[in-house]
Chain A
């Protein structure tokens, strides 16, 4: 919302400086977004007087002038036709920046004659587009500041424009008068009286008005207007044009400019019909749906059922409270108008405006709420302006419905200001603030009865009254007050087990060498579909782009996209991870917490030690296991199941499960087709942890089980077996481990190699830990024999000779 300082001063009697006013506005909650002060650009330019002018010896159009300035007489060459002896001019001296030509003036020679500055035109100082000659002032002394001269003689030209952001709760501040009222309450002056003297009608309005009963109940409680005949709709006077132009509006004609003025001055949108184009009376009704209207913006709109319309005998002539129709709009030829002032229900206007996608000043204000009580006064005030500026004669006022009663009061306990806000403001000051804002506060007991003015639809209870008082008193003065700790003593931990788990997983995976990413939760449909998602359930209704249209089922596609981008930047060896949610459906509960990681390229950069190798599925497995271990899963107890989803390599992937139905993680090489689709260069491996699936330990005790170690020397025995090429080695290891549960402490795999004939050799080391005494050779041999027997039985292996 823009306005000029002089416009504000029409309502506010104040000596406050521009800085004081802008500070107060922001502090009051009317945040200043910008101030444009023309005087700033003019600082430094002073007045001079041309004491002598003669033709340039080498140029017909140039004149060599002697100009009396505050620095004494200066020689200035000038090309303006009006440069002549005796005129008072604006001098730009060497070193000064001239905004209109974006140049800093220098001493120079023009056609061989020295020139010490410039005499400015209006355009050069950005005062207007005038550039036919240099500025000639009717008064002013040599050396006087031009900005001061303008402020004294043409204040409009130096009028600062203030732009403030209005929060949705403050429709009253969408009019300059509302802004002035806030400033007056703050103590920055007094609000000037603005009595509206009604205009007595001289005849009966030929246009009558009515409101359908259903609209009267809900959408439009009052619709009033009057005819004004004999008007002349020429351009509006300069002051009005200047004012509108200053706030970025284009002056159109006196009638239109008056309605715009009312909109910005009083937050009172009005509409003016050309009576010559209206057929019969005006009726306010809900559209049946399907009616069309070409509005003042020259666009055709089709109304939906339930939108409010104003119709004459031929049909819809105006989209009520949003925009008038072109057919009945005013032109320069208009001589008889019907001036409309109505109150429209904010919600009905908001719904219609949103559907029609019309952003008009009227809609903006009616959907936030204009002052219903000002409906008749607004009509009278605009009538007077029309009569003043366009002439003519006004009819009686015709009214349908009645101004709604918005009168309401709330009980305010003055002590609430300190208990809620923590500011100690005396009762009388509270009453003073409320009164200045237009409330009336009465009461002699502990509490006040506070009546809300009709222009404050936002105030709906005691807390709102407290806010008004605190805001005007200035929250800047609020001093912090310590809060007692929530509990006495050492602070208790606050994280939930799942939050701790998430943190543990994050730092463990980072410690494994992965770089954490945070990527968008929405991806393109095709990528989502590659990973089992992309259905309409997870589709956005209004995505920002087709690249961000679906909530992702898992984080892997986002990481692959990140990998692809990094690869194209020349980084091929990547380890990226993210912790976040995957979305299985479009309802709030359909999200699950995942930790996903991918590795691409090689495990290490090229180096002199030869440790570089391609990443493989066992990297992903090791990472998944390490992260699971970190969150408290005993990895040794997990089942390795070959049912990884289809975006993994079918033969090089698996699910780590706690029982067949509770997957804790999946890992594997990514499917080559998926990599190709996602434009990622392989090799690439990945893992996903389903963080919410792992059970939390049941035991509450922190006590560790007793340490169980034996003092007797352990023995390691190696075995090599020949097994079928497709034997899963896990089976063999488990069989060996089970050969003697008491004595065999661990079994480890240390060699696997493929033999020619679909067979492979598997070498294991078995660690035998005696418990009750050193084992004899015979006893060790017995354990070894048992290992061989069990393994052979379980896997069909034969011991290699």
Chain B
């Protein structure tokens, strides 16, 4: 058939020249539209002899396909070009700071308390609580500190005011978390394993003391718990808390009215350039007080000391936070200086777990 090559050359050239959608549509109509040149030619096929049709038919179909796909390709190219242009126009200065979002923080005391809870929970310790305003029975008497015992004066106790004529002994702001031992055993008896974190108060305010601070009490009572178990427990705790494998603890004889025997516990560490490293060096630093619960304390809490025994310990949460995270000044913990809160605080989703690690 004549002219097919010419048609092909003509329309492919026109398609390639088409600069926009409309131009392409015009070419399409002219070529393969109902009245387009190619369509008209195809209509002529009917008038042909079968032999002529055999050769002309496929040629025309091929031509039509080729023009259609050239149109599609050209359309796509144009769309790409248009998109390209749009994207170019949509350029933004992405070095510009983004919309501000505020990030809150969790206080180191809360974070460290949760770390301690996570570790002891794994060892099967529940979390017990008690009131901050205590009566003197729970804060002193039940803990084997009778009224005129010299030890009472060593606590720098805050007393609550009593009205004139009210002759009950004044309530106190608890000087330690130990009263929770008594309250817990009174209610739940033995055996038990608890820790009791919380605020405690002592009338002392200088560079290294604040009138309020935080303690965590530990108590484990059963029939055969010994001081050796206490040592192991504290070793395990320190290993997990300070996140070092080689922790070394030393027990040193001491005295607390509520434990017998009593020991202060030192941890091996090094101080170099003002930096503390646990598990290294040759220095020893006191970190907590502990001992075997005094039989009188068990008795006061309604637990039979002939049947049960166990250990108790108390450590400063603030101090643990200072040691672990290198926070220098205790007083700053309670100052709410925004710069401090941001610097030493923890992210809201930074939840300490045993499986994921106690800290990030």
Contact = CB atoms under 8 A, between A and B. Distances in A.
B251 A510 contact: no
A608 B252 contact: no
B232 A481 contact: yes
A475 B135 CA distance: 34
Interface in A212-249: none
B336 A541 contact: no
Interface residues of A, number: 104
Interface string B183-218: 000000000010000010101010000011000000
Nearest to B293: A463
Contacts of B226: 418-422, 481
Specify which of A418, A467, A470, A537 lies most central, judged by the most chain B CB atoms within 10 Å of its CB: A467
A625 to B, nearest CB: 17
Interface of A: 26-29, 31, 167-170, 346-347, 350-351, 354, 367-368, 418-423, 461, 463-464, 466-467, 470-471, 474-476, 478-483, 485-487, 491-496, 499, 503, 506-522, 536-544, 548, 551, 559, 562, 565-566, 569, 571, 574-577, 579-581, 583, 586-591, 603-605, 607-609, 611
Specify which of B171, B224, B226 lies most central, judged by the most chain A CB atoms within 10 Å of its CB: B226
23 contacts: A29-B252, A168-B151, A168-B154, A169-B257, A170-B255, A347-B148, A461-B295, A463-B295, A475-B253, A478-B227, A480-B235, A481-B226, A491-B124, A494-B125, A513-B101, A515-B104, A516-B345, A520-B334, A521-B201, A566-B336, A575-B102, A604-B101, A607-B100
B333 to A, nearest CB: 6
Nearest to A463: B260
Given A420-B226, A607-B99, A476 B252 contact: yes
B345 A515 contact: yes
A83 B149 CA distance: 60
B106 interface: yes
Specify which of A474, A483, A491, A496 lies most central, judged by the most chain B CB atoms within 10 Å of its CB: A483
B251 A476 contact: yes
Interface string B91-121: 0000011011111111101100010010011
Interface in B135-173: 135, 138, 148-151, 153-154, 158-163, 170-171, 173
A493 B109 CA distance: 22
B319 interface: no
Interface in B285-301: 292, 294-295
A600 B120 CA distance: 39
Contacts of B233: 480, 483
Interface stretch (B12-20, B72-80, B126-134): B126-134
A29 B100 contact: no
B244 interface: no
A463 B148 contact: no
A29 B100 CA distance: 57
Contacts of B57: none
B263 interface: yes
A800 to B, nearest CB: 34
A686 B123 CA distance: 40
Nearest to A520: B212
Contacts of A519: 334, 336
Given A470-B227, A544-B205, A551-B133, 17 more contacts: A350-B149, A351-B148, A419-B226, A422-B228, A467-B260, A480-B249, A481-B231, A516-B345, A517-B336, A520-B212, A539-B160, A539-B161, A541-B158, A542-B158, A586-B171, A604-B100, A604-B102
B11 to A, nearest CB: 45
B117 A495 contact: yes
The 4 nearest A-B residue pairs measured at CB: A422-B228, A486-B124, A480-B232, A513-B102
Contact of A583 (B133, B134, B333, B342): B133
Given A167-B254, A478-B227, A479-B228, A517 B341 contact: yes
A476 B251 CA distance: 5
Interface of B: 96-97, 99-107, 109-110, 114, 117, 120-127, 129-135, 138, 148-151, 153-154, 158-163, 170-171, 173, 193, 199, 201, 203, 205, 211-212, 220, 224-229, 231-235, 249-255, 257, 260-264, 292, 294-295, 309, 333-339, 341-342, 345, 347-349, 351
Nearest to B251: A475
Contacts of A470: 227, 253, 261
Contacts of A31: 252, 254, 264
Contact of A420 (B121, B127, B309, B345): B309
B104 A591 contact: no
Contacts of A491: 121-122, 124
Contacts of A609: 99
B134 to A, nearest CB: 6
A586 B132 CA distance: 10
Nearest to B255: A167
A543 B163 CA distance: 16
Contact of A590 (B123, B133, B292): B133
Contact of B252 (A475, A574, A607, A611): A475
Contact of A354 (B153, B211, B231, B335): B153
A542 B171 CA distance: 12
Contacts of A566: 336-338
Given A467-B261, A516-B345, A518-B333, A478 B231 contact: yes
Given A29-B252, A541-B170, A608-B97, A586 B150 contact: no
A224 B338 CA distance: 67
A263 to B, nearest CB: 17
Nearest to B105: A515
B275 to A, nearest CB: 25
Contact of A485 (B124, B133, B138, B262): B124
A355 to B, nearest CB: 11
Nearest to A460: B296
A511 B109 CA distance: 17
Contact of B255 (A169, A536, A587, A591): A169
A188 B161 CA distance: 51
A583 B201 CA distance: 15
A420 B259 CA distance: 12
A604 B98 CA distance: 12
Contacts of B159: 540-542
